[in-house]
Amino acid sequence: MGIVIAVISGKGGVGKTTTTANIGLGIAQNDKKCVVVDFDIGQRNLDMLLGLENRVVYDMVHVMDDNITIKQALIKSKMSPNLSFLAASQTKDKSVLESEKISKLIESLKAEFDYVILDAPAGIESGYEHTIEFADKALVVVNPEVSSIRDSDRAIGILDSKSKKVKDGEEVDKFLIINRIDSKMVQSGEMLNSDDILDILSIPLIGKIPEDKGIIDASNQGKPIILSKDSKAGQAYARVASRICGNKVDFVDVESHKDGFIQKFKGMFS
């Protein structure tokens, strides 16, 4: 049976979808069968980031409501044979989601894949609640700024009260990804540092992703940044994916900025 991981954030624009795409591909590169599911009904994006924009024929809602099998709707990625994608409907809205149907869908995905990654919509409405309902684990994506952290805090609170696992008396494991860390801004104190964020959210850290301008281009091209080996963000995503697959990977310091002359100079004496 596969593990269901929901990627959540509360706030929009922090990089949930980018994280889902990269981590999905990263897990597939670790030789695990992985499916990424776009749960943002009515506003699908994940297909573009994975470069599968014009290959979507059937989506999740077709599988749930019409007589379309999952095999027909799943799209295999060209980037890795282990990675599949299930699209969200672009024409329907969140009201089509029903717990029973989602449960059935997720059960059949779990039977076939090692990892089922759900890209949650922004916000904490019904669409979000349906995404987390059947999750075993959650990746919480935050940016190092207060509003993102408060929204994630709220999202975690809802996860801890409304997911099926919690209602059954178990706990959903939550892991934190701090995204878009700008080392210069952290050092100047403009951005929150990760210890403060961990203090506030008090869930274990699974990765820190540095800000990378290459991500925008990667999204436009439909090639996740994890494919560019010399991108720092790509490397960071690869480490997170490896950790999810159960490997021990040391944390790399992405917060201190060591390129400048003064930093090097300081480094000589420290």
Partner 1 sequence: MKTKQYSAKIFEITLEDEESFISFFNKNHPLLQNNLIVINGQESENIKRYLEDKNLKYLFNVEIPSYKKQKSNIEPIKQELEQVKEKIEPQKKQKTNLKVIDKLVRSGQEIAIDGDLLLLNRVNSGGSIIINGTLIVTQIVDGSIRCNGDFMMLQASHKANIVFHNVEVDNTFLQNKLNRVELINNEIVITPVLKETSWV
Q: What are phi and psi of 93, to 5 degrees?
A: -125, -175
Q: Which is nearer to partner 1, 144 or 210 (CB)?
A: 144
CB closer to partner 1, 57 vs 146:
146
Among 3, 48, 96, 158, binds partner 1 (CB under 8 A): 158
Place of tokens 């699209």: 87
Q: With respect to partner 1, which residue has the nearer C-beta, 11 or 239? A: 11
Q: Of 151, 211, 212, 255, which lies in the binding site for partner 1, with binding defined by CB under 8 A?
A: 151
In whole angstroms, what is the distance from residue 190 CA to residue 84 CA?
39
**Cβ-contact 85, 75 below 8 angstroms:** yes
Phi, psi values for residue 82, rounded to 5°: -85, -10
With respect to partner 1, which residue has the nearer C-beta, 98 or 196?
196
Q: What is the footprint of partner 1 within residues 202-221 (CB under 8 A)?
A: 202
* Complex with partner 1: residue 163 or 183, whichever CB lies closer: 163
Burial 162-198 (b: 16+ CB within 10 A, else e): ebebeeeeeebebbbbbbbbbbebbeeeebbebeebe
Mark out the alpha helices in the chain (DSSP H runs): 16-29, 46-49, 60-65, 70-73, 99-112, 126-133, 146-162, 164-167, 183-187, 194-201, 214-221, 232-244, 261-269
Report the residue number, 31 or 199, with the smaller CB distance to partner 1: 199
When binding is defined by CB under 8 A, the residue of 112, 129, 153, 173 that contacts partner 1 is 153
Min dist. Cβ of residue 125 to partner 1 (A): 13
The answer to the question of residue 150 lying near partner 1 (CB under 8 A) is yes
Binder among 107, 129, 145, 160 for partner 1 (CB under 8 A): 160
Query: What is the rounded distance in angstroms from the CA atom of residue 220 to the CA atom of residue 216?
Result: 6
Which of the ranges 99-107, 166-174, 180-188, 198-206 carries the binding residues for partner 1, by CB under 8 A? Answer: 198-206
* C-beta of 146 vs 252, nearer to partner 1: 146
Neighbours of 19 (CB within 10 A): 23
Closest separation in Å from C-beta 200 to partner 1: 6
Q: How many residues does the chain have?
A: 270
For residue 206, the one-letter residue type is I
Could you say which residues in the range 219-258 bind partner 1, by CB under 8 A?
Answer: none
DSSP 78-89: SS-TTEEEEPPP
Work out how close the CB of 154 gets to partner 1 at its nearest, in angstroms, rounded to a whole number.
Answer: 4
Handedness of CA 87, 92, 94, 96 (dihedral sign): negative
Question: Residue 200, interface with partner 1 (CB under 8 A)?
Answer: yes
Q: Which of 13, 69, 95, 157 binds partner 1 (CB under 8 A)?
A: 157
By CB under 8 A, is residue 260 in contact with partner 1? no
| Chain residues in the site for partner 1 (CB under 8 A) | 146, 149-151, 153-154, 156-158, 160, 199-200, 202
